Structure 1
Amino acid sequence: MEESECRSAEKKVVAVVGGGLVGALNACFFAKRGFKVEVFESREDIRKAKIVRGRSINLALSHRGRQALKHVGMEEKIISKGIPMNARMIHSLTGKQSPIPYGKKGQYILSVDRANLNKELLSEADTYSNTKLNFDHKLQDWNAETGLMTFVRPDQSQVHIKADLIVGCDGAFSATRKRFLRRTRFNYSQTYIPHGYKELTMPPINGEFAMKPNYLHIWPRNTFMMIALPNLDRTFTCTLFMPFDEFEKITTDDEVMRFFQKYFPDAIPLIGVDALKRDYFKLPAQAMVSVKCSPYHIDDKCVLMGDAAHAVVPFYGQGMNAGFEDCIVFDEMMDQFNEDFSAVLPEYSRVRVPDDHAIADLAMYNYIEMRAHVNSKWFLFRKHVDNFLHFLMPKTIIPLYTMVTFTRTRYHKAVERWHWQNKVINHSLLLSALGAVVGSSYLLIKNPPSINRVIIPAEKMWTRLVALRTLRTS
């Protein structure tokens, strides 16, 4: 960036609302460009807190998120504290374990701890002299015309700040987004799925992981499932996803045990009977929400990113990765339009909305795949076919999971390509099957089997058996 541009950037104030994962990373992106950055977080500083409030579902870091971290020099630090997962490990009812690789050899996703990642990003943002972190500041209101913002502190005192750009990264229940809802032509939908989740901990056994650590373990049971991700302390975080009405049927210790003995018998000794009874009732089942909206901006004053723009259910492991990619896409557009907010913000909405809506839909689909399709022989066969064709034609046939997880192919383009590939492959398989049937029928008609060819060997076999029995009895 030219010196004159640097001076221009330094005069502008960017207010990042939300000090979570996307907000903290965004602060690094804007600070790196020379803007004066103010981060406002409603919670206390989690780096000093004894108990960290908020969601705790483990995170799966993949290519999109890593690219964003790399851009601010954080990739190596974060991956050094993650655990590679090379494949899904499917647990059957009998306890049999079967791996399904995620991609080619060497491709993996990383199990990372949410709280630790958030702390690292906040600390990185704190290293920039032009960044200020403000904790215990809850957004009360803001003005789209003037950029004037009002925050409330725990003692009910108010703090006012004027910003050139407001970046809403304050989660699925975004206070920033409330101002958008007052405007015309703003589309918004919020959907709670009928399934909730509970978390359990699988402790180490003799100081080591209770199961193979380099896998995302899945117990698919068609209408529900349990997954387990490894942690650095050699525990596994197990998450049970199930319809709320099924959770409500389990009210006693005995019912918990009967349920696990029926559906997850191999997990009981690994979690521990006492721990299972205790932890299952620690918290009620938690809800999961999917949020879609458009556009993501108001004029040149405010833009939404992360869950504030597109909260997704966790089944594709792309919520954080999509939020991190928001940061890098916005940054790329800042280069493209020379940091002109009036050009960057509408283009960001135009480009990003279809992608984020696509990953929201894919996340819903992947829940069905994880809990049910992985039990299907056809699904496993198609996986092998897709991987084989990808090996033969790596640029023509690319599995959906590979496009989503190991590339930065735009989400909606990945979906379009997936539908096209499915159509081509399914038609090819159907034609191959018809060809085999027609070919076999033609050969049978041209070369009908001879009765003699069948009878004579049978007669010879019978003669040999009679002779053998005679020898044994003599």
Structure 2
Amino acid sequence: MKSVIIVGGGLVGALHACFMAQRGFKVDLYEMRPDIRTLEVVRGRSINLSLSARGREALRRVGLEDIVVQTGIPMYARMIHDVDGTRRPIPYGKKDQYIMSVDRRHLNEVLLTEAEKVPNVTMHFEHKVMECDFDKGTVSFRKNDGSVVTATADLIVGCDGAFSGVRQQIMKKTLFDYEQVFIPHGYMELNMPPAAGDHFAMEVNYLHIWARNEFMMIALPNQDKTYTCTLFMPFDIFRTLTTKEAVRKFFQDTFPDSIPLLGEEYVTETVSTSKALPLISVKCSPYHVKDKAVILGDAAHAMVPFYGQGMNCGFEDCIVFDDLLNKHNNDIGATLAEYTETRSVDAKAIVDLALYNYIEMRESVNSRMFLLRKKLDNFLYWLFPNTWVPLYTSVSFSRIRYHQCIKNKQWQDRVLRRAMYVGVSGLLAVGYCALTRPQYFRLSLPVQLEDFVNRVRPSWLERICF
């Protein structure tokens, strides 16, 4: 039986343990934190997760889709909150297309419990990776009591997040390209309680967005009738909100309709005393070392959360890896080489798309041209469902490769630019013909205007008309 060490017991690590156990691998899962199923409070990121097609496919393959979906809340559209209190929905796609708001902790617990059911999976909590030997296939861990243990396996898989210890070991011991970027915006979470009577305070099946061009606030619904609100802003603005009065004025000017929903005292106290947390993007290559190690999820491609694809992309990593093991009949060396080659281009694409979508969410949704383009895309998608797939639809509601989603969008932009050019040229040609050949259009022009047109008439337009 082949063996695998998975470092990281978060979402991707726990899911990958399920995939590898299904294949008959002996799996040892090591996690730096205590078992979250035993904790009352889990520290760390709690930005709500949006589950879409790629993530659902991964859960389906390990038999967990129905369990997770039952506890999620569908979101069919963005609900934009304007400063004057107006709310306007922008659908994600067709009426039956939606993303789901899911609870991070609940999903992680479900995955850990499912992996633990399999006899060939062993879990080791409170083990921090110290060193990897990629020649011998060993990993040394420091336990909470200070002792060090060393494990050996046929494959080492790093699923240990944006600040991956396994990736750090790869960087030290191999030729490795690495790019890490902290964007100049941070985030802060707020909690919106249920309305009186234990009801949702806002329309439930939406991702709510207060888009203010330079910054924004979003809210995702939870099963307990609350909303998790996340404020994304430049750190320079966060630094100005250090007093209750400053926070009160800021929210009155920018998010006035949210104050009664969140509670004025809660907002002013929380924002003035809390620290905004950073957002990071990571690109790197290669993802593997020889036939001994590979990194998946945020360890390979951490991204900002604005496309809701961080988890979905990490889950799709597990699908791609599993498919390649099928293709190569469990040959780890061949699988790792092809995994890096095929997956890195898509991971880098979605990292870029995630940052692009921040601009769309905080600014473009306020633009009439953006809304017009959205309607045009949806209309063309209705006319040509197999040819014209909007960018958001291809990313969130299909498994089209991420880099191909970008290529499709670029092709669509070229088509529309050419159509606009032809349309404008046609209108100019018709207008010119109407001026120079009024007898064909039943127009009567003043003699002075006819003389002016004849003198300035361009030859290229003459050839278009006649």
TM bucket by the smaller chain?
over 0.9
Partner of 1:126: 116
Partner of 1:464: none
**How many residues were matched structurally?**
441
> How many angstroms does 1:425 deviate by?
1.4
> How many angstroms does 1:448 deviate by?
3.0
**1:295 and 2:286 correspond:** yes
Partner of 2:67: 77
Q: 1:118 to 1:281 in 2, by over 3 A?
A: farther
Task: Give the whole-Å Cα distance in 1 for the aligned partners of 2:373 and 2:211.
Answer: 18
Deviations along 1:276-326, one digit per CA (max 9) or x if unpaired, are 122224530000000010000001100000000000000000000000000
Q: 1:147 to 1:282 in 2, by over 3 A?
A: farther
Residue identity matched to 2:411: W
**1:105 and 2:100 correspond:** no
Q: 2:359 aligns with which of 360, 368, 372?
A: 368
Task: Give the whole-Å Cα distance in 2 for the aligned partners of 1:379 and 1:449.
Answer: 40
Deviates more, 1:14-23 or 1:279-288: 279-288
| Partner SS for 1:182 | helix
Partner of 2:86: 96
Partner of 2:182: 192
Q: 1:231 aligns with which of 222, 230, 241?
A: 222
Residue identity matched to 2:190: L
| Partner SS for 1:396 | coil
**1:176 and 2:166 correspond:** yes
Task: Give the whole-Å Cα distance in 2 for the aligned partners of 1:443 and 1:264.
Answer: 52
Question: For the Cα contact (< 8 Å) 2:162–2:302, is it kept in 1?
Answer: yes
Deviates more, 1:333-342 or 1:423-432: 423-432
Deviations along 1:303-362, one digit per CA (max 9) or x if unpaired, are 000000000000000000000000000000000000000100000000000000000000
Partner of 2:464: none
Deviations along 1:165-216, one digit per CA (max 9) or x if unpaired, are 0010000000001111124431001000000001111111121011001000
Task: Give the whole-Å Cα distance in 2 for the aligned partners of 1:440 and 1:264.
Answer: 48
Query: Within 5 A, what are the aligned runs for 1:18-57?
Result: 18-57=8-47
Question: For the Cα contact (< 8 Å) 2:6–2:159, is it kept in 1?
Answer: yes
Q: Which one has the largest radius of gyration?
A: 1
Task: Give the whole-Å Cα distance in 2 for the aligned partners of 1:338 and 1:208.
Answer: 52
Task: Give the whole-Å Cα distance in 2 for the aligned partners of 1:220 and 1:431.
Answer: 35
Task: Give the whole-Å Cα distance in 2 for the aligned partners of 1:292 and 1:273.
Answer: 40
Partner of 2:235: 244
Gaps of 5+ in 1: 1-10, 452-474
Task: Give the whole-Å Cα distance in 1 for the aligned partners of 2:104 and 2:174.
Answer: 36
Residue identity matched to 1:102: Y
Residue identity matched to 2:442: N
> How many angstroms does 1:142 deviate by?
1.2
Task: Give the whole-Å Cα distance in 2 for the aligned partners of 1:349 and 1:165.
Answer: 15
**1:253 and 2:244 correspond:** yes
Partner of 1:271: 262
Partner of 2:310: 319
Task: Give the whole-Å Cα distance in 2 for the aligned partners of 1:436 and 1:386.
Answer: 23
Residue identity matched to 1:237: T
Task: Give the whole-Å Cα distance in 2 for the aligned partners of 1:403 and 1:173.
Answer: 29
TM-score (norm: length of structure 2): 0.93
Deviations along 1:388-434, one digit per CA (max 9) or x if unpaired, are 11111111111000110001000011111110111111221232233
Query: Within 5 A, what are the aligned runs for 1:3-22?
Result: 11-22=1-12
Query: Within 5 A, what are the aligned runs for 1:419-438?
Result: 419-438=410-429
Task: Give the whole-Å Cα distance in 2 for the aligned partners of 1:439 and 1:16.
Answer: 68
Deviations along 1:356-376, one digit per CA (max 9) or x if unpaired, are 000000001000111111111
| Partner SS for 2:188 | strand
Partner of 1:159: 149
- Kindly, what percent of the aligned residue pairs are identical? 54
| Partner SS for 2:113 | helix
Partner of 1:447: 442
Task: Give the whole-Å Cα distance in 2 for the aligned partners of 1:183 and 1:440.
Answer: 69
Question: For the Cα contact (< 8 Å) 2:31–2:124, is it kept in 1?
Answer: yes
Task: Give the whole-Å Cα distance in 2 for the aligned partners of 1:343 and 1:416.
Answer: 28
Partner of 2:50: 60
Deviations along 1:56-111, one digit per CA (max 9) or x if unpaired, are 10000000000000000000000101000000111111111111110111000000
Partner of 2:201: 210
Task: Give the whole-Å Cα distance in 1 for the aligned partners of 2:371 and 2:74.
Answer: 23
| Partner SS for 1:47 | helix
Task: Give the whole-Å Cα distance in 2 for the aligned partners of 1:391 and 1:130.
Answer: 48
TM-score (norm: length of structure 1): 0.91
| Partner SS for 1:205 | coil
Q: CA RMSD in A?
A: 1.3
**1:343 and 2:334 correspond:** yes
Partner of 2:106: 116
Partner of 1:395: 386
Question: For the Cα contact (< 8 Å) 2:5–2:29, is it kept in 1?
Answer: yes
Task: Give the whole-Å Cα distance in 1 for the aligned partners of 2:321 and 2:427.
Answer: 52
> How many angstroms does 1:443 deviate by?
4.7
Deviations along 1:438-467, one digit per CA (max 9) or x if unpaired, are 43554574233799xxxxxxxxxxxxxxxx
| Partner SS for 2:130 | strand
